[in-house]
Amino acid sequence: MTIKYHILLRACDKIESVHQVKRPFALSKLQTIKLCFYSLYQTLQDSQYQFTIVGDDLSTELLDFFNKFNDVIVDNEKFGSAAKSLQKQIDIALSLPDNEWIYM
């Protein structure tokens, strides 16, 4: 039996840090998003998957980055809050088949 993975990754690169806390390895928020995405993307290459980015008003730079990957869906809206983008992520998850795995 082949498992299909649905990866629902929320991303927002507008605010570097709410509490001015530095990120590991002195990476920027943009670098962290790209690194996390690409690491997971590379890991899944031998699997059956669908990658969806739930973007909250993403910058042109980040949109251009995600658009380099032809098999990635980018759903970019202006949510304005983490709660609203989380709700969108949950709504997408609830619409997917029960026999497929979801990673949020």
The domain locations on the chain are 4-103
pTM flag (> 0.95): no
Decide: residue 18, CB within 10 A, 0-12 exposed, 13-18 middle, 19+ buried.
exposed
Spatial distance between the Cα atoms of 75 and 55, rounded to a whole number of angstroms: 6
- pLDDT tens by residue, 44-99: 999 999 999 999 999 999 999 999 999 999 999 999 888 999 999 999 999 999 99
**Phi, psi angle pair for 76, to nearest 5°:** -110, 115
Q: Taking the CA atoms of 16, 30, 64 and 41 in sequence, report the sign of the dihedral they define.
A: negative
Contact of 38 with 62, CB cutoff 8 Å: no
Pairing assessment for the beta strands 72-77 and 101-103 based on DSSP bridges: unpaired
